[in-house]
Amino acid sequence: MLLFHRLRNWRKNTISAPILKAFKKVLPPMSSTEKEAIEAGTVWWDAELFSGNPDWQKLMTYPVPALTRQEQAFLDNEVEQACSLVNDWQVTTQDMDLPEAAWQYIRENKFLGMIIPPQYGGLGFSAFAHSEVITRLSTRNSALAVSVMVPNSLGPAELLVHYGTPEQKDYYLPRLASGQEIPAFALTSPWAGSDAAAIPDSGIVCKGVWNGEEVLGMRVSWDKRYITLAPVCTLLGLAFRLYDPDGLLGNQKDIGITCALVPRDHPGVEIGRRHFPLNAMFMNGPTRGKDVFMPLDFIIGGPEMAGQGWRMLMECLAAGRSISLPSSNVGMSQLTVRTVGAYSRIRKQFNLQIGRFEGIEEVLARMGANTYASNAVRIMTAGAVDLGEKPSVVSSIAKYHVTERARSVVNDGMDIIGGKGICLGPSNFMGRAYQQIPIGITVEGANILTRSLIIFGQGAIRCHPYILKEMQAAQEADPTTSLDNFDRLLWQHIGFSTRNGLLTLASGLFGARVFTIQHHAAPETMKYYRQITRLSSALAFMADLTMLSLGGSLKRREKISARLGDVLAQLYIASATLRQYENNGRQQDELPLVHKAVQQCLFDAQSALLQTCRNFPKRGIGLLLRLFSFPWGASFSPPSDALDSAICEQLMQPSATRDRLTVNCHIPKDIDDPVHAIEQALLYAIKAEPIEAKIRQDEKNGIFKNHPRANDRDIAQLAFEMNRISTEEYELLATRNRLRDTVIHVDDFPPDLRNPAAFMNIRNTRQGDRT
Ligand SMILES: Cc1cc2nc3c(=O)[nH]c(=O)nc-3n(C[C@H](O)[C@H](O)[C@H](O)COP(=O)(O)OP(=O)(O)OC[C@H]3O[C@@H](n4cnc5c(N)ncnc54)[C@H](O)[C@@H]3O)c2cc1C
């Protein structure tokens, strides 16, 4: 015992103490805003992936997100009704806004108060239900989705629920829930976008007159831009930096970022002008104010919360970010994959459905797998929020990777439908999604920044079992406690890294079979759990060596940080995909999608690891990392081509897989709607195929040889006249032709497009010109 004690002391003083000294030197300098950002929120499955040995049993026992009866009824009734009140073409070319009936409907039916607890009159929906609503609205119209999304994301309601004074909650929350107030939240300024903590907007504590009395308040000046709902909001959440030069509140002169709620009609508030974001018609615009006096009671949480704004924003960011963009972008992906899958069956070139060409098959299958994986991420992440997590790293992963996958799905969809997607008009079901994709990429943390700085930057510190604790130990004021704590953590950390290094090497040499998986996974997916564990161990080992060798300079090495973040993210996406497969009851018809999605994640994670090794700033360490992780070279291949045709088969016909994959799509009942038309045209295209095959056979047999063929319409007529097909078959072909033409034709307008009325003077097959 004594010997052990002596040895420990020797270790502490001879080894740990100099390391602690060096560690303090390489610790990146951190401002309080950075510290608050890093420490905000919680870690969840991301921490398991970072541990090198994820506990699969844990993942599989998290409850499966489900809707209550009330939430399901809301989705089936109110959400469907809201969708039916909006016509995208009308919104984007004539009204330049949601129709008044839609505004009224969403306000009166509490769409703006989904996250407000029922005791304040809100719907108090789960995060999963909230996500389901946004996903479905996004398959209809972006203005509708965004107008609902923003009040339920980070903004006045969320901040009031967590930090409001009882008076503020009692007054504002019921008004926000009932749609009597429309909120907006203004943080971004022309000079501070991504670096939002650097906002120059300021308030000075001073005395002034409010409601006829002299009170202590603030004189606030701001210049904000890009603020969603600002032009129509009645209640403006405002972030600014508060100063107290005269010491009216205490000794602190720079109090810090503060959030206040300012009524729109407060004297001095300039608001109402609009930006024009890529033809999306949700309300968005600037707001300004110069030396606007407001009482301290306007501060969210009252005067005690002055200076706490950044912490409040960071603490609440994760919940909204887990839902808004992942849901709206999954909505876009679902709509794209559903309509484009059908279009690939309806549209023929070279006398073949375009989806039968291998080139299209490859692209359509990729769209399917991306949509499956994104949906899995959306559901799993919303589920984490419902478990009470504020998953800061996971929400960044979901935001970045779902929006990037949506960009890929929509781009792919546009490529498949060709000119049909390019010519705008009421029958174009994709053009607006394509236009608006960059919005999701930019908001709630622009994607390049999120990938380069946030995912691994925050993940490495938050998810790592020891780093944050070691940093806290190093910053401990009492030197003895600091060294004691640091010593204990350091040796645990060394054990952790050694274990991961050895496991990485062993699995590199002998394959992922060295890992035993506790969870009773489906046999058809078991290998993936092992492979994810293998890459998780490589990530943990690589992350440790990277932090050890690069220290504080890692913050500037964004390419390294981005790639390691990619590994973490791909492992998260693969885990979510496997979980979705389990949650859906291991549907065999989904397997090709699951295989493709997971294999792509593993391949991408491997590429990111190899790129990290190849570009590692210290060559020797890069080689060592590669030798440990992939001693025989790359182990994972991209998904095989063989999966593609199985996936496309499901996406090009009405199928259970297609329905599950696109379950959130609003399918309009209006026969003039392009999404409705495409659904009908798909049904008839399939029914017509055996009849066409019969005609083709007759053609091959020379039945029509004396009647040169012009097009399939003529030959069907001929087959009918020659009694080769029945009246019903002929009529079915005629219906198919009519529906197909509705789908493939595009709109045209009078020559002078300067007149907005021209956009309502539409002509296409539905007006009867070629039916
Ligand atoms: C339609 C729309 C709605 C919005 N709604 C709101 C709202 O309601 N309220 C609100 O407050 N704000 C809102 N915003 C603002 C939005 O959050 C910002 O646009 C976003 O934070 C990015 O800021 P920026 O556009 O000024 O880009 P910049 O900050 O100028 O960034 C430019 C580029 O630099 C990259 N970049 C920046 N720093 C780094 C780094 N360290 N490493 C790598 N890359 C980096 C970014 O990723 C981006 O690609 C909205 C914006 C838009 C366009």
Which tens digit of pLDDT belongs to each residue from 699-723? 899 898 887 766 777 888 999 999 9
Q: Is the CB of 450 under 6 A from ligand 1?
A: no
Low-confidence ranges of the chain (pLDDT < 70): 1, 28-29, 709-710, 764-771
The pLDDT value given to residue 6 = 84
Question: What are the backbone dihedrals phi and psi of residue 238, each rounded to the nearest 5 degrees, phi first?
Answer: -135, 130
User: How far, in Å, CA of 375 to CA of 665, rounded?
Assistant: 12
C-beta of 449 in contact with ligand 1 (< 6 A): yes
Nearest alpha-carbon partner for 33 in 226, 254, 320, 300: 254
Alpha carbon dihedral 43, 48, 50, 51, in 10-degree steps, equals 120
- Known catalytic membership, residue 358: no
What pLDDT is attached to residue 642? 95
CA of 432 to the centre of ligand 1 (A): 21
Whether the CB of 226 sits within 6 Å of ligand 1: yes
How many angstroms does the Cα of residue 485 sit away from the middle of ligand 1?
40
Q: What's the angle, vertex CA 543, arms to CA 540 and CA 548, rounded to 5?
A: 125
Q: What pLDDT is stored for residue 706 in this prediction?
A: 81
**Tokens at residue 693, please?**
């095959």
User: Going by CA atoms, what residue is nearest to atom 17 of ligand 1?
Assistant: 443
**530, 517 contact by CB (below 8 A):** yes
Q: How far is the CA of 405 from the centre of ligand 1 (A)?
A: 19
**Catalytic, out of 78, 444, 692, 729:** 444
User: How far is Cα 115 from Cα 154, in angstroms, rounded to an integer?
Assistant: 10
Residue 436 CB–ligand 1 contact under 6 Å: no
From the alpha carbon of 190, which atom of ligand 1 is closest?
A: 26
Residue of 230, 242, 231, 240 whose CA lies nearest to 185: 230
- With a 6 Å cutoff on the Cβ, whether 282 touches ligand 1 is no
* Contact between 380 and 580 (Cβ < 8 Å): yes
What is the atom index within ligand 1 of the atom nearest the CA of 275? 1
Instruction: Report the residue among 185, 188, 560 best suited for mutation to probe ligand 1: largest number of ligand atoms under 8 A from its CB.
Output: 188
Confidence (pLDDT) at 1: 66
Separation of alpha carbons 309 and 196, rounded Å? 12
State the pTM of this model: 0.95
Q: Is 764 in the pocket of ligand 1 (CB under 6 A)?
A: no
Residue among 406, 463, 470, 387 at smallest CA distance from 22: 470
Q: Is 675 in the pocket of ligand 1 (CB under 6 A)?
A: no
Residue indicated by tokens 């992936």: 49
In the reported structure, the alpha carbon of residue 227 is separated from the centroid of ligand 1 by a whole-number distance in angstroms of 11
Give me 202's structure tokens: 């300021």
Q: Are strands 183-186 and 235-243 parallel, antiparallel or unpaired?
A: parallel
Residue nearest to atom 51 of ligand 1 (CA): 226
CA–CA dist 429, 432 (Å, integer): 8
Distance (Å) from CA 194 to ligand 1 centroid:
5
Does any ligand 1 atom lie closer than 6 A to the CB of residue 376?
A: no
Which atom of ligand 1 is nearest to 277's Cα? 1
In angstroms, what is the span from residue 449 Cα to ligand 1's centroid? 9
- Which two three-digit tokens encode residue 363? 């692209």
